[in-house]
């Protein structure tokens, strides 16, 4: 078999470098926890529902933002079924830290829903903490060894774009009411 070249080689090298940090127990534990909590966008949907309950004056905006996150996740799943890129397989002791719901890798749906949540909920909450949490979830997928960096980058771009496009709708006709 030929050695990978170009982007695939860079993807493999970056993944191996990040994945090696999981040899530190606290890094592995954090990656597992973040990956599990964000499975199918769960942490983000929970945040949106909690926001809608805690902020009745903007309940509609919270629910529409949550719908954007769920819709972005569904779009990522659809893209994954079309692309069908296999998950990474690293040699040696670098087995994945978490089980995955499927065998396809591109795009990372954790990254799709995380970036969508950072953008959609960033219209309702301070963006910096959301962005840091979203980035941590994205990084967790590399540390866990279940995605290539290009999977995560593409997923984050897709999620941010979809949430950005849906922002005026989430705000309630673009006027910020709601």
Return the structure tokens found at 169: 């709708």
pLDDT tens, position by position, 17-55:
887 887 788 888 888 888 888 888 999 999 999 999 999
pLDDT tens, position by position, 121-135:
999 998 888 999 999
Q: How confident is the model at residue 56 (pLDDT cuts 50, 70, 90)?
A: very high
Please name the helix (run of DSSP H) or strand (run of DSSP E) that holds residue 103, with its range, or none: none
* List of residues 6+ apart from 52 with CB closer than 8 A: 59, 62, 63, 66
Cis amide leading into 51 (omega within 30)? no
CA angle 28, 16, 158 (to 5 degrees): 85
Cα torsion angle, 54, 60, 61, 66, sign: positive
Contact status, residue 111 vs residue 135, Cβ threshold 8 Å: no
* Domain residue ranges in the chain: 24-93+104-170
What proportion of the chain, given as a percentage, has pLDDT over 70?
92
Contact status, residue 114 vs residue 134, Cβ threshold 8 Å: yes
| C-beta neighbour count of 84 within 10 angstroms | 11
Cα torsion angle, 57, 48, 74, 80, sign: positive
**For residue 78, what pLDDT is reported?**
95
DSSP letter at 20 equals G
**For residue 90, what pLDDT is reported?**
73
* List of residues 6+ apart from 17 with CB closer than 8 A: none
Return the structure tokens found at 15: 């993944």
**For residue 96, what pLDDT is reported?**
78
């Amino acid at each position: 078999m030929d050695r990978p070249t170009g982007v695939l080689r860079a993807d493999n090298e970056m993944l191996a470098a990040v994945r090696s940090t999981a040899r530190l127990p606290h890094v592995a534990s954090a990656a597992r926890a973040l990956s599990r909590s964000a499975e199918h966008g769960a942490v983000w949907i929970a945040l949106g529902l909690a926001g809608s309950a805690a902020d009745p004056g903007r309940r509609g905006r919270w629910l529409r933002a949550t719908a954007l996150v769920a819709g972005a996740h569904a779009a990522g799943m659809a893209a994954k079924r079309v692309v069908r890129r296999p998950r990474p397989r690293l040699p040696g002791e670098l087995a994945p830290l978490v089980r995955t719901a499927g065998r396809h890798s591109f795009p990372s749906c954790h990254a799709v829903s995380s970036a969508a949540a950072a953008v959609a909920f960033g219209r309702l909450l301070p963006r910096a903490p959301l962005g840091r949490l979203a980035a941590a979830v994205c990084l967790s997928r590399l540390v866990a060894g279940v995605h290539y960096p290009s999977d995560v980058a593409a997923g984050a771009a897709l999620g941010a774009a979809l949430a950005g496009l849906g922002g005026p709708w989430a705000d309630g006709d673009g006027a910020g009411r709601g």
